[in-house]
Amino acid sequence: MAAIALPADPTLDEMRLALGAEIPAHAVFDGWSDAALAMAAEALKLDPAHAKLAFPDGAVGMIDAWYASLDTRLAAAFPPERIAAMKIRARIGELVLARIDLVRPHKQAVRSALAILALPRNLPTAAKLGWRTADALWRIAGDTATDFNHYTKRLTLSALYASTLLAWLDDESEGEAETKAFLDRRIGDVMRFEKVKAQLTPHPDRRFSVSRFLGRLRYPAT
């Protein structure tokens, strides 16, 4: 991952953003530790002591910053015109695989990050990051839902991405064929679920409306 350009006197937020993209290269060897943070700071020509101030939340904060940088890179790689011609199934498949492609150089860092997020005290953060990733993927895919579907889509995609990532970590097949087949099956399951959900959701014109009912009482059809 190319280093993010920093101003001469960066703020803590600017340092956090740049370091979040750099730390995984060092976390591969040293885990999500102060040592990895110090080496990332050195690579970006930052004072390690100042860099540490950008992460008062320690390893979890470093992982958070990395995930945010991945979402930013993915959005840049998939402008609206790139996905406009794709069907929704293809959009989701391409985006999930592209995000995995971004973390491919740091597979061990992914393993250690997931181990840290799996600790009981970090489960709320893990859920937040999963939701944020799913939200980013749906927004890039062009989703504009604001009703209940907004939430169900993100919950479903969060689970889909997490399970595909785990499948990828254990995939030793040629060309990661097993991961791609797993993802295709999961997307198929989601598409079938969405189809059934749409069939079970009553059409707006057929939903019970109190105001329409009272109006009919007041002005009965002749």
Judge contact between 61 and 10, C-beta under 8 A.
no
The whole-angstrom separation of Cα 28 and Cα 33 is: 10
The whole-angstrom separation of Cα 107 and Cα 100 is: 10
- All structural domains of the chain with their residue ranges: 82-206
| pTM of full prediction above 0.85 | no
AA letter at 103: V
pLDDT tens for each residue of the chain, 222 residues long: 445 667 678 889 999 989 999 999 999 888 999 999 999 999 999 999 999 999 999 999 999 999 999 999 999 999 999 998 899 899 999 999 999 999 999 999 999 999 999 999 999 999 999 999 999 999 999 998 888 889 999 999 999 999 999 999 999 999 999 999 999 999 988 777 666 655 555 555 555 454 554 555 555 554
The whole-angstrom separation of Cα 1 and Cα 68 is: 14
Judge contact between 175 and 85, C-beta under 8 A.
no
